[in-house]
Amino acid sequence: MTYVTGSHHVTLSVGHAQEDVDFHTKILGLRFIKKTVLYDGSAPVYHLYYSNANGDPSSVVTTFPWAQAGLYGTRGTNQAREVMLSVPERSLDFWASRLTEHGVECTPGDVFGSRRLNFRHPSGIEYVMVATAGDPREGFTGNGVAAEYAIHGIHGIGVHVYDQDRMVEFGNEVFFANGEIEEEGDRARFRVGEAAFGNFVELTGNRTDPQGTWRYGAGAYHHFAWNLDTLENQNEVKFDIEGAGYTDISELKDRTYFKSHYVRTPGGALFELAVTHNEGGWDCDESPEELGRAFMLPPRFEHERDSIMSRLEPLDS
C-alpha cells in the first residue's frame, strides 16, 4: 500500500520576482498559474506558481522571490539542490539552442542512461532537464514552446548529502521508496510512490561544500512536495513518520490550493506531504482559463490587500 502517488511541486527561494517570471515563462515556456504571497511569517513576499498545460500535480514549480527582502541563501551539502525537469526525448538540442540564445549557459550530461542538460536559474539554483521517453504529461504551448519540446513536468529532486545511507534508510523505512536503489559514480537514486514519472530522489555524495542553508534566502532550493491521495491517509503517514522517530514534522498547514505537513529528512531536504483536497485545486479561486492573471490572497489576508501590494516589488506578468 502506498499513499504517495508521486510528486506535487518544487519550491525555491529565488532573486527578484520579474526575473523569475521571465525565466520560467519566456525562456522555459511554463504556464504562470498563480500569483499570491507566502503565508508564513510577516514579510510580504510573492509566491509564484508555474506548471505544464494542465497544472498537474508533479508539474508545478513555485518560487518565493527573496531578493526584495535582502535575504540570500547558500547552496551546499545536506540540502536539496537540483530542480529536475522531464522533457521530451529528442528535445535537448532545441533546449540547448534556446537557453544559449537567452544567455543561459548549459552543459550536456548523461546519467542513469538518460541525456541531460544542466543550467541555472538566474538566482544560481541548478536546473537539469532530463530527456524522457513516453512521458504523457502535457507541456504548455502558450508561451511559444511547441508541444514536441515543452516541459512535461517534474522529473525528481536532486539532493546533496554527506552520506547517502541515511536518506536511503528514510526512503526505505518510512517514505515509500519504490523499487531498487540505483547507483552510478557518486550518485544513488530511488523512486517514491507509484507514479511512472516525476518521482526520482537523486542523491549526490558531497563532502566538500559547506552546509547549505535551510532558511529562506534567494538562490537556494527550499522544499519538494509529494502528492498524497487523501487527508486521512496524509494524517496516517504523519503518524508513522513520527513513530519512526522523525518528530520534526509540522502541523497541518492550509495552503488554500492544498493542505500540507512538512518534514525535515536526514539528507537535509525538506519534504512536504501535500493533499489537493475537495475545496482546493488551482481553480478554487480563479477559473481554469484565467489562472495566474489576478493577485490572489487567502481570506485572512484580504483586509490587508492594499498594504501588502504596496510593499511588494512591481511585477509585470
| Spatial CB neighbours of 306, under 8 Å, sequence gap ≥ 6 | none
What cell was used for 276? 489537493
Closest CA to 12 of 61, 67, 76: 61
Q: With respect to Fe ion, which residue has the nearer C-beta, 9 or 137?
A: 9
Closest CA to 36 of 296, 315, 280: 296
Q: With respect to Fe ion, which residue has the nearer C-beta, 84 or 225?
A: 225
Min separation Cβ 60 and Fe ion, Å: 9
Min separation Cβ 47 and Fe ion, Å: 9
CA-angle at 311, arms to 306 and 313, nearest 5°: 115
Given the rule CB under 5 A, which of 112-120, 129-137, 185-193, 264-272 is the region that contacts Fe ion? 264-272
Contact between 272 and Fe ion per CB under 5 A: yes
Min separation Cβ 216 and Fe ion, Å: 12
The residue count for binding Fe ion (CB under 5 A) is 3
Cα–Cα distance for residue pair 85/285, rounded to 1 Å = 27
Given the rule CB under 5 A, which of 9-17, 71-79, 107-115, 181-189 is the region that contacts Fe ion? 9-17
Contact between 202 and Fe ion per CB under 5 A: no
Q: With respect to Fe ion, which residue has the nearer C-beta, 30 or 225?
A: 225
Residue showing the smallest CB distance to Fe ion in the complex: 11
24 close to 131: Cβ distance less than 8 angstroms: no
Q: Which residues pair with 41 in a beta bridge?
A: none
Q: With respect to Fe ion, which residue has the nearer C-beta, 10 or 71?
A: 10
CA-angle at 31, arms to 25 and 37, nearest 5°: 90
Q: With respect to Fe ion, which residue has the nearer C-beta, 7 or 77?
A: 7
Given the rule CB under 5 A, which of 129-137, 229-237, 269-277, 285-293 is the region that contacts Fe ion? 269-277
Window 204 to 233, contacts with Fe ion (CB under 5 A): 225
Contact between 33 and Fe ion per CB under 5 A: no
Min separation Cβ 9 and Fe ion, Å: 6
Contact between 11 and Fe ion per CB under 5 A: yes
Given the rule CB under 5 A, which of 11-19, 161-169, 195-203, 246-254 is the region that contacts Fe ion? 11-19
What cell was used for 117? 542538460
Contact between 80 and Fe ion per CB under 5 A: no
Cα–Cα distance for residue pair 128/107, rounded to 1 Å = 10
Q: Which residues bind Fe ion (CB under 5 A)?
A: 11, 225, 272
